[in-house]
Structure 1
């Protein structure tokens, strides 16, 4: 048997390695791993295929999801939160924010995956607040009342509809006097045809206050809201302008937000407290 003897020189050994490497069939590199590839002549290259561009899987959860009601907030939190997640309630902006990957007591985490409950005012709340403390003509006030009858509790919708129709029917009348009644209501006296010697006279009585049932935010319960009637009687022109003033609307908003915060607090893990304030900014 004949053996081939290779000279064990540095150049000869490297030549054998080069030939052996060249003889190896190319192999596909597996995603999700770090590979070391021989380039020849003692050189190697590390190839990292663990990134999301290779695996198709993000390295970590990130981003802020915005929801509009408590049920949606709790559903998302249950899916992605853990006992180290943090929840903050900011009464000024009326938002509740969860940092789902917050730091633990001993380890730092990214704090980049967040959930935010951004409350939106209902259309009814915006309608009443939009006309708050504004004096309107009889026709405009009557139209506003008719459009928002569903929100009225006291006087009831039927009574207020009748009152609105009375305002519409007397837009051309001349209002001459007003009188405060013992009940707190106010009586306005008018003459329908001031040119005639015996013009038709009449009275309109308006309540001192209105009681409304309004939902300040979408997804929350209705709250009792009181509005005081306002008026201005121009006796020279015989014009009557009407409006209302919502009593302490900020208190209603604060109460509604506190109730929403309580719902969130009761819905998440007992080990997590809802903190007053806002989370730290992302690094």
Structure 2
């Protein structure tokens, strides 16, 4: 019978402990391990282990051309595709679009979603609608900064004249040689019953509006509209001339600005 020395026993224990010690596996790599049951493969390359997504994905929406260019410059590559859709008023970049030889995910996108300004929406909301005198006058007063011709001061005077002629009976209107329209009225208040007066307004006026947030401003012509009711009341309004053309021009200018900041061509349409 062989008796192991104390030193030999200690050496065997140390070897056994070293063999049983756990081995740290490096993340981001594949590992092949020999176990009692055979060979086992361990995949530590996924995002759960590395903390890094497998690929870029998702759609980022920006509101102006400058923001579009900033994000685009950071993430685009030579095979990125860009589309402009005039119906939806959007510019979309497929940042990981297919290459000529290789299919890619096409799941990382950037969209310029233009947002119409509040002033544009307010002018379009009342376009072609007739309003009571006070409502129309208040609308002009609220939008003085957008009134270009006649000047805001002149339009304010017109608005105040409209407000001051509420208790009257409107009789007729005449188009003057200057292009203005003159309305005749008779006072109906007890103190001034029968006193005649007149209100002169321009046939057309020019406004300046910014259609989209962050875009340039554009001029529009508006035509005064009116109706004298059978009861002698006066309804006033305006009709914008071809606002759709202004929107299309504004969108085209935004697309042109986007194109000036990137190298890729901009295609007309929408991505798949």
Q: TM-score scaled by structure 1? A: 0.87
The number of equivalent residue pairs is 259
What SS does structure 2 have at the residue aligned with 1:182?
Answer: coil
What SS does structure 1 have at the residue aligned with 2:131?
Answer: coil
What SS does structure 1 have at the residue aligned with 2:130?
Answer: coil
| Structure 1 position 184, deviation (Å) | 2.2
Does residue 279 in structure 1 map to residue 264 in structure 2? no
Does residue 262 in structure 1 map to residue 256 in structure 2? yes
Give the aligned partner of residue 80 of structure 2.
85
- CA distance in structure 2 between the aligned counterparts of 1:169 and 1:115, rounded to whole angstroms: 53
| Structure 1 position 183, deviation (Å) | 2.2
- Provide closer, same or farther for how the CA distance between residues 38 and 246 of structure 1 changes in structure 2, counting only shifts above 3 A: same
Describe the superposition over 1:203-228 as per-residue Cα deviations: whole angstroms up to 9, x where unpaired. Answer: 10111111011111111111111111
| Structure 1 position 165, deviation (Å) | 0.3
Give the aligned partner of residue 10 of structure 1.
none
Residue among 131, 145, 150 paired with 1:150: 145
Give the aligned partner of residue 241 of structure 2.
247
Does residue 204 in structure 1 map to residue 196 in structure 2? no
- CA distance in structure 2 between the aligned counterparts of 1:25 and 1:131, rounded to whole angstroms: 80
Does residue 51 in structure 1 map to residue 52 in structure 2? no
| Structure 1 position 83, deviation (Å) | 1.3
| Structure 1 position 56, deviation (Å) | 0.3
| Structure 1 position 69, deviation (Å) | 0.3
- CA distance in structure 2 between the aligned counterparts of 1:199 and 1:94, rounded to whole angstroms: 55
- CA distance in structure 2 between the aligned counterparts of 1:23 and 1:130, rounded to whole angstroms: 80
| Structure 1 position 261, deviation (Å) | 0.5
Contact 1:70/1:263 (<8 A) preserved: yes
Give the aligned partner of residue 177 of structure 1.
172
Residue among 98, 102, 120 paired with 2:93: 98
Unpaired runs of at least 5, structure 1: 3-18
Give the aligned partner of residue 135 of structure 2.
140
Give the aligned partner of residue 14 of structure 1.
none
Unpaired runs of at least 5, structure 2: 3-14
Contact 1:174/1:194 (<8 A) preserved: no
- CA distance in structure 1 between the aligned counterparts of 2:125 and 2:193, rounded to whole angstroms: 41
What SS does structure 2 have at the residue aligned with 1:168?
Answer: helix
| Structure 1 position 200, deviation (Å) | 2.0
| Structure 1 position 254, deviation (Å) | 0.3
| Structure 1 position 193, deviation (Å) | 2.7
Contact 2:186/2:193 (<8 A) preserved: no
Give the aligned partner of residue 16 of structure 1.
none
What SS does structure 1 have at the residue aligned with 2:28?
Answer: coil
Residue among 221, 225, 235 paired with 2:216: 221
CA RMSD of aligned residues (A): 1.9
| Structure 1 position 174, deviation (Å) | 1.0
Describe the superposition over 1:17-64 as per-residue Cα deviations: whole angstroms up to 9, x where unpaired. Answer: xx98993421121111111122215x1211111000100011111100
- CA distance in structure 2 between the aligned counterparts of 1:218 and 1:112, rounded to whole angstroms: 27
Residue among 102, 105, 110 paired with 1:107: 102
